[in-house]
Amino acid sequence: MSSFLLIHGSWHGGWCWKKIVPLLQQTGHTVLAPDLPGHGEDPTPIEECTPEREIQRLEELLAGFQEPAFLVGHSSGGMLITELARRHPWKVRGLVYLSAFLLPPGVLPPMLMREDTESILGASLEVDEERKQVRVRKEAARTVFYADCSEEDVARAISLLVPEPLRPRVEEAASRLSVRESEALPRYYIECLQDKALGPSMQRKMYTSLPCQKVYSLPTSHSPFLSAPERLAECLLDIARSQPKRDAHSEASKHPSVASGTDEHEG
């Protein structure tokens, strides 16, 4: 059996994986779907929600797994799994990008979003300069995130969205995944073909620039964990079946510089 760490994207929380967790658990897999600081039910004040704090929360959870885990990042969560893999490659069995940012070195999300003519996310944001927050306007959230979801799921999801700090997330750090480490760790991409948050053409551009072991296609909006949970779960189960297990202890011995807390790639 495998271990999965499911990481939500901006404005969301661990609640977005509610339908996926039992589908993986019922086949014997270990699954964690945490709230990042300041999201879901986590009480961290928004002004204290920093990229490093997010990473530290995930590092603590990753350390608790008895074996290397699959990291699944949705949307901006793709940057977080990239950074976790850079820091702890021996704890990672594979990286799964679900309609997520898969960034080559030196490329940041704003650069891509300016080219994304299929996304309507930028036009759907409400920026509060005084509070240093950015929200997705409620009247736009359905179209941006949940166009193919049930009325019940849409209402619940919109009620649970939270503001994001008006700052970059782990963009700079996440873009540093080295060529050696990126080649050593298997990558998978799950594209959403009706996505209005991160356009399908931009998703395709990213996984073409950084090829993956396999690309899965879902005919859904940005939120297949709500609209097509069985199909999404089957993608994750197929990845788990296809990827051989790795031993964390033997893998750590191959990365002494990383395991000791140093980075041999830093200049």
Going from the N-terminus, what domains does the chain have, and what CATH number goes with each?
Answer: 3-259 (3.40.50.1820)
Query: What whole-number distance in Å separates Cα of residue 161 and Cα of residue 11?
Result: 5
- Please list the ranges in the chain whose pLDDT falls under 70: 167-183, 246-267
Name the pairing type of β-strands 164-165 and 187-192.
unpaired
Phi, psi of 13 (to 5 degrees): -155, 180
Q: Answer yes or no: are the C-beta atoms of 239 and 188 closer than 8 Å.
A: yes
Q: Answer yes or no: are the C-beta atoms of 207 and 189 closer than 8 Å.
A: yes
Q: Looking at the DSSP assignment, which residues form a beta bridge with residue 191? A: 217
Give start and end residues of each alpha helix (H) in 121-190: 138-145, 151-160, 171-174, 179-184
pLDDT at residue number 248: 53
pLDDT at residue number 265: 33
Quick one: DSSP state of residue 97?
Answer: E
pLDDT at residue number 74: 98
Q: Give the global pTM.
A: 0.89
Query: What whole-number distance in Å separates Cα of residue 251 and Cα of residue 177?
Result: 18
Query: What whole-number distance in Å separates Cα of residue 132 and Cα of residue 30?
Result: 37
**Residue (of 76, 13, 19) closest to 234 by Cα position:** 19
pLDDT at residue number 27: 95
Name the pairing type of β-strands 125-128 and 133-136.
antiparallel
Query: What whole-number distance in Å separates Cα of residue 65 and Cα of residue 251?
Result: 14
